[in-house]
Structure 1
């Protein structure tokens, strides 16, 4: 079994209209896709968005292929459940992961440099078939960024904090809201503790562990 870390570079035709708007400066810091399920000629998708959720909702409303959506606000952004009609340019990705024998490890990161970053796990031949299917489409280019011999979290999940505990994520959210990460710092560990309803020492421990995991993922990438 191998684990491939891939960067898919998207040409103009392959860019989804929402992704294009983010690449062109919409106030969205991160767009992560956790699941995409085709349903005949429709698809249902679950995203997590970091940034201005009202701006993201406006992008969805202005995109013809999006038929409906539901947004659930979360710390720093929102979850988005989207139903849409896939474009012909999207079919290469659905075809690639419909081949069988591979697992797409969520999330997939849509980045402002016109790329998708994703991780797939499987045996050698099915993985080669997935990469080959995508590479056969002139609208995209696939770069293999790394190969591991055992499965693990996607790089998008690592960088985005996908392996943090719920309490660690709450601590980071409270610290961000309090201005703890502003320069100069505006909030304190005491503010985080008050928001969580715990002792300062407990809040400090949550923050240290969360920060250590995030920094380790980035430095060790």
Structure 2
């Protein structure tokens, strides 16, 4: 059985509410056809439900895609005529700009209509600095959509706490990143303190039965 990442019919039916559940025996974590993980299946939904409608018919829009896969970039490029791929470490396509989310000093004020970061803040305990820097580069009315892995979230208002470190082969020698634990409601409160219209969406992946939490901030 395919998923809404690799099958447009399933995606359309999900958006229209024509599929609400699938048999337990047919559930899967990663799609057997395209290997999409839960975060990608739920991104497809939340993006088309909350981001795309706000971007349609608004002319030449710019997006900043942070550590985004080629597939994420392909979805976002359907609504944003120009985008920049950015990452602190790793190569996410030709022309990737090295940038730290805590300052985004490479980018001008009010430059982007949309900033995207899936599974990136998971390794940045300085949440307030990230939210402040993204707010600076967003145009008025701009959107910041981000996801934090579910196992790094608690149903509390706790501030970010470091729980160990992570090391990947593509990190520079001697570099490791902190694994961070966040309180969901603490994230929303921090967004509001940084002047966002903040929303949290707990999106159900019917293919796996898992929930993915996405945060949307509008300037």
Q: Calculate the TM-score normalised by the size of structure 1.
A: 0.24
- Larger proportion of helix: 1
- Larger proportion of strand: 1
Q: Calculate the TM-score normalised by the size of structure 2.
A: 0.24
The higher relative CO (CA closer than 8 Å, separation ≥ 6) is in: 1
State the structure with more CA Rg. Answer: 1
